[in-house]
Amino acid sequence: MSLSEPGLDQRPPAIPDDEPSSGPDPDPAVLRTRGLQVWYGPSLALRNIDIAFPRHKITALIGPSGSGKSTLLRCFNRMNDLIPGARMEGEIRFDGELISGDGADPVALRRRIGMVFQKPNPFPKSIYNNIAWGARINGYRGDMDELVERSLRRAALWDEVKSKLHRSGLELSGGQQQRLCIARTLAVEPEVILMDEPCSALDPISTARVEDLMDDLKDEYTIVIVTHNMQQARRVSDMTACLMPDETAVGHRTGVLAEFSPTDVLFTNPRDQRTEAYITGRIG
């Protein structure tokens, strides 16, 4: 392979597995899965995923359609629970705490692991109430006006909407709506933000604004983003996981984790042949 730089192969893995480190945070990985498998009815959608997302970094999930990127993302806030027939096996730990299985409460979990969806889906309410609703249902007791302003500022939307906070959120442009959805997620103070192709419905300028925003947010939040756009994964992420459909599956599509590497390594010197074929455009 022509692009290969020998030095990169020797780079140590970004996350030392199970290695205790000094400091207040013993585990650098916020989310960690072990032997994660997901079924939709009788068909296996994800096989044996072991992955760990590093804290305050952006991790991109890429891969062709049907490779289970979104399914994997939706495991972390248990949104797959809502799909009839969906079943999860293996374990997921969030800050060391087990969040898979019947013992964990999805409602409590979803406040701490927020989600931004593919299509902007603001509530049919005012901009103010779009932000305030999530805080209110979670029993927020502080100054609501202040929270709304802070959330909108962090989502880089305040200056555009401060004069029309009581107008409907649906009056905003697509890109503004998506940033409103991000602000809404930030308002409940999550630790992790899951983004499911957040820019696929946006124009390039709005996309650039959301990407800038993600870069600002990673100081405080861990972000996991599913994207079909490999340029975007390259631009925004620190780590990239490439999922691939398993060729041996018959009649349905099963995703497996082909490679999980620092983004610059994965895109310049992929270890896995399928990853290489995918990122160079030969498959997918």
Partner 1 sequence: MSRGDALYHPNRRLRRSLGPFFGAACFLATLTGVVVLAVFLASIFFAALGGTVHPVWDSLGQAIRDFLTLMSRLITNRQSSNPAIAGFRVGLVGTLWLLGLVAVIGIPIGIGAGVFLEEYAPSGRLKRIIQTNISNLAGVPSIVYGILGLALFVRAFGAKGLALGPSLLAGAFTLGLLILPTIVITTQEALRAVPSSLRQAALALGATRWQVVSGHVLPAALPGIMTGAILGLSRVIGETAPLLMVGAAGSILRLPKGVLDRYTALPVEIYNYAKEPDRQFQMITAGGILILMLLLLTMNAAAIVIRNKFRRGR
Q: What is the dihedral of CA 51, 102, 185, 23, to 10 degrees?
A: -50
Query: 222 with 191: CB under 8 angstroms?
Result: yes
Task: Collect all residues with Cβ–Cβ distance below 8 Å to 49 and sequence separation of at least 6.
Answer: 33, 35, 36, 37, 72, 90, 256, 257
Work out how close the CB of 147 gets to partner 1 at its nearest, in angstroms, rounded to a whole number: 13
Nearest-approach distance from CB 104 to partner 1, in angstroms: 13
Dihedral of alpha carbons 92, 94, 98, 102, sign: negative
Instruction: Give the residue with the Cβ less far from partner 1, 129 or 261.
Output: 129
Of the two residues 62 and 79, which places its CB atom closer to partner 1 in the complex? 79
Distance CA 143, CA 105 (A): 27
Nearer to partner 1, 58 or 109 (CB): 109
C-alpha 193/C-alpha 112 separation (Å) is 9
Report the C-alpha gap between 124 and 169 in whole angstroms.
7
In the complex, least distance from residue 97 CB atom to partner 1, rounded to whole angstroms: 16
E strand residue ranges, the chain: 29-40, 43-54, 58-62, 86-94, 97-98, 113-116, 192-196, 222-226, 239-245, 255-262
The CB-of-124 to partner 1 minimum distance in angstroms stands at 4
- Is 54 in contact with 29 (CB distance < 8 Å)? yes
- What are the residues binding partner 1 (CB under 8 A)? 77, 79, 82, 84, 107-111, 114-115, 117, 119, 121-124, 133-134, 137-138, 168, 170, 181, 184-185, 188
* Angstrom distance (rounded) from CA 28 to CA 26: 6
Amino acid at 73: L
Sign of the C-alpha dihedral computed for residues 54, 262, 230 and 37 taken in this order: negative
Q: Which is nearer to partner 1, 3 or 107 (CB)?
A: 107
Structure tokens at 35: 């032997």
Residue with Cβ nearer partner 1 (34 or 150): 150
Nearest approach in angstroms of CB 201 to partner 1 is 11
Quote the least distance from Cβ 180 to partner 1, whole Å.
11
Closest CB to partner 1 among residues 217, 230: 217
Nearest approach, Cβ of 116 to partner 1 (angstroms)? 8
Nearer to partner 1, 114 or 270 (CB): 114
